[in-house]
Homo-oligomer: A and B are copies of this chain.
Amino acid sequence: MLKVGIIGATGYVGAEILRLLSTRKDIEITTIVSNSFVGQPYSSVYPSLRGVFDMPCDELDIDKVAQKADFFITALPHGVSNDVIPSLLEKGKRVIDHSADFRFRDVAVYEKWYKAVHPAPQLINQAVYGLPELYRDKIKAARLVADPGCYPTCSILGILPALKEKLVSTKGIIIDATSGVSGAGRKSELSYAFCELDENFKAYGVSNHRHTPEIEQELSLIAGEEVLVSFTPHLAPIKRGMLATSYLNLAKDGVTTQDVHDLYEEFYKDEPFIRVLPVGQLPETKYVAGSNYIDISVVVEQRLNRLIVVSALDNLGKGSASQAIQALNLMAGLDETEGLLTPALYL
């Protein structure tokens, strides 16, 4: 029985992690930490979990909390982990962190885009970027895993095969993506009010969204040279779901949609959560919402010799919570898919 603690459990990512772990027979949730709700039953924060997680929230006292579990998933805001994660690691715990703090290899990049001093630069070298499709073996052995951002997961997995196989140029990559509202977290700001967002569609963070350098870091590592991208996020009135449309210049002429499709299918043939759709079908967020799947389609626009990749996932699934559990499974030596094969709700 794996003992797992969740720190920062009352945001949407924490709630989704708990929902997904609630039916696991091989995992025991031994502490739910939330400073805002200390002593209150977790189910009073999320009444959907009434009768499921009625245990009270613990205070963030690292010494006490650390004794309760071997694995911790931390879902605290960026930058606040300066004490929590180093302390947990020092006490021999293994950690999956959902903040952006340990996603970057270069402290300067983090500090530039997040406009903050890095809370624990000494840990960067041991942190593993928690995308199993890129770093499966390293995740298995890691003591600190950085759960990737939702946009980076969706974008990188869509572009990876084409870039890795040198099918496309590293220049001129454009990623236009749309997220559901839960990606912003559980917020009481006016701009996330129902009446402000329902029946509304908008772009945001044009040319300056923080997921841009995260995407660029991984694409550069894949390509073996610097890759810069235009990345534009949008917000749609859906709770869950994310879809990225990526525009890539083909490196040579005469490549067909079928060619690219076959390459993608071969590339991902052993991946349990990546579904390359048949030629002519396109992803929809409802096909993946509530699941750990990511669906990918490719289309070659022959008039312009351009490859268009459409990829979709659940920002609370493969984009955050269930991907964290995938990493947990790997770190704990369990079957990577354990508890994660539930398909999307469709409705």
Contacts and interface: CB of A to CB of B under 8 A. Distances in A.
Interface of A: 12, 15-16, 19, 22-23, 46-52, 172, 174, 176, 178, 180-182, 186-190, 192-204, 206-207, 228, 230, 232, 234, 236-241, 243, 245, 247, 275, 277, 281-291, 293, 295, 297, 299-301, 303-304, 306, 308, 310, 312, 316, 341-347
Tell me how many chains of this kind the complex includes: 4
Contact of A304 (B230, B245, B281): B230
A6 B206 CA distance: 36
B199 A241 contact: yes
Contacts of A206: 245, 282, 297, 299, 301, 308, 310
B243 A201 contact: yes
A293 B238 CA distance: 24
Find the residue from A240, A290, A299, A346 having the highest chain B CB count within 10 A.
A346
B241 A245 contact: no
A212 to B, nearest CB: 9
A36 to B, nearest CB: 11
Find the residue from A193, A195, A282, A295 having the highest chain B CB count within 10 A.
A195
A211 to B, nearest CB: 15
A12 B346 CA distance: 9
